Chain A
């Protein structure tokens, strides 16, 4: 999959109650998107923000009609705040597709549990569709602090067989952290997880203890996103420090024993 660095136009934006924003981009020259796999990410150049000189890595939330690139962005610092407040019609430069995404492969009949927290749920939207298309059964569990964190997010997973919610305060779905959701008591062939690091570690430990296949998507700080700077490394048990931007961001937890315990 060749990478491109291209200008894109923001054609749609939808603010969700959590303050995160769903943003739709199309290429400025009207060309189709390159092939993108679920779990891959983009590096977006945020102009007009002096403190955001480097590009910001954002997961691909979804790809529609081969032309619409959908990102789900949570305003955290200055770069992402600016991004979510951009008006429609604004032009931005995006490098895409980057990294190594989730394994879909031959998953016909496989029971898949997708666990997402906050904007970490973003890449699971595209993954849900890909897994369903390949014949898997898909259940999604979303975590948040309270109802507003998950409002509007759960409807993104219309392709899933089931969507359940956990909130810390119990204002929506089960009360407590995602890993306390009864859905984890079910039988799963595969677990996919993307969210805050403590959540991913908790999910990964459950999967490990049950010997369930599991992939997580890491969010290490990045400078280039291309495997050139070696700023984003994570320690793997098999190959030592590897670039999250090229070998990841998605890793099988078999490689991340020391990360799980860190």
Chain B
């Protein structure tokens, strides 16, 4: 194939990406952390750290344990709060070609809404991703994401406060993720992203204690990928809104699995820690795949399974 290959994707409600590759919240800082390694402008977009209404110190150390082909984290949404983001971080993010998406978290419904309201005047932020699925905070977080009523309530409340693209990030720690996906679609979400981390635990048997301070934490990395692909496939079959797939993506083939399972775009998380240039390799790999298989538009591969 000699012609130009189209990698751009449209997530609807004003969110168009130059290519399907986003970075996952909490794994890419505010982007600058990776600017020595890659040209951030080449990304479809990057999703910045989870932002809450008030600053949060997060959980005590140790916050991380490596497990077979994965890691468990218990960061606990450490961040400097939305006001700090608006004053100090946002001005550094307005010059990129890539979309910058803010990941919003909260402990209470009102907190989510207040963050969305504060972000709404920032016109370079075309989308927020609402994290209703964080396993690492005591109140709120995952609690909203594990019942249809909770997921729907938080989505409709934010929908009223946020005028642009609203992506809702789903928890895999549920019996039937499609029910939650349908609930947030019904409440006005423009897209869903999945999966967040899986609730997990690891024990140091020599010391006879859990490896992370909070005992349980969130599992991510290549070990979760098959579960994530399955969930994306199930959700994409049920909902009408675009699906963003993530969980363990390390290379273009991994990303293609999500796209073939029905994802319009993908996010890369833990793999950024292993190789800080993963995102660019995935973008190049997607283009290469299309060329080898005579595909002129990446969207042709979406949901073919």
Binding site for B on A (CB under 8 A): 2-5, 45, 50-55, 93, 95, 220-235, 240-241
Contacts and interface: CB of A to CB of B under 8 A. Distances in A.
A133 B236 CA distance: 63
B58 interface: yes
A4 B277 CA distance: 10
Contact of A229 (B36, B37, B64, B275): B64
Interface stretch (B26-34, B164-172, B254-262, B290-298): B26-34
A240 B36 CA distance: 27
Given A221-B62, A230-B58, A240-B57, A53 B222 contact: yes
A121 B180 CA distance: 53
B150 interface: no
Given A53-B221, A54-B274, A2 B36 contact: yes
Nearest to B29: A228
Contacts of B222: 53
Nearest to A245: B33
A233 B273 contact: no
B37 A3 contact: yes
Contacts of A235: 60
A249 to B, nearest CB: 14
A interface secondary structure, majority:
loop
A212 to B, nearest CB: 27
A3 B69 contact: no
Interface of B: 26-29, 33-34, 36-37, 49, 57-58, 60-66, 68-71, 73, 75, 78, 221-222, 270, 272-277
A113 B29 CA distance: 37
Contact of A228 (B33, B58, B63, B78): B33
Given A95-B276, A223-B73, A228-B273, A241 B37 contact: no
A5 B58 CA distance: 29
Given A54-B66, A221-B62, A233-B78, A228 B274 contact: no
B28 A231 contact: no
For the complex of A and B, list the 7 residue pairs with the smallest distance between their C-beta atoms, beginning with the closest: A231-B64, A228-B29, A224-B273, A3-B36, A228-B33, A226-B33, A2-B36
A233 B27 contact: no
A45 B274 contact: yes
Contact of A224 (B36, B65, B272): B272
B258 to A, nearest CB: 20
Contact of B29 (A55, A93, A95, A227): A227
Nearest to B64: A231
13 contacts: A3-B36, A50-B68, A53-B222, A220-B62, A223-B64, A223-B73, A224-B272, A224-B273, A228-B34, A229-B64, A229-B273, A231-B75, A241-B58
A14 to B, nearest CB: 29
Nearest to B76: A230
Given A5-B276, A228-B27, A229-B273, A51 B75 contact: no
A224 B63 CA distance: 13
Contact of A54 (B37, B71, B75): B71
A229 B77 CA distance: 10
Contacts of B274: 45, 53-55
A79 to B, nearest CB: 9
Contacts of B26: 229-230
B68 A55 contact: no
A93 B272 CA distance: 14
B214 to A, nearest CB: 13
Nearest to B73: A231
Nearest to A244: B61
Given A2-B36, A3-B36, A5-B37, A231 B276 contact: no
A51 B27 CA distance: 20
B241 to A, nearest CB: 29
Interface centre among A225, A226, A240 (most CB of B within 10 A): A226
A52 to B, nearest CB: 8
B271 to A, nearest CB: 10
A241 B28 contact: no
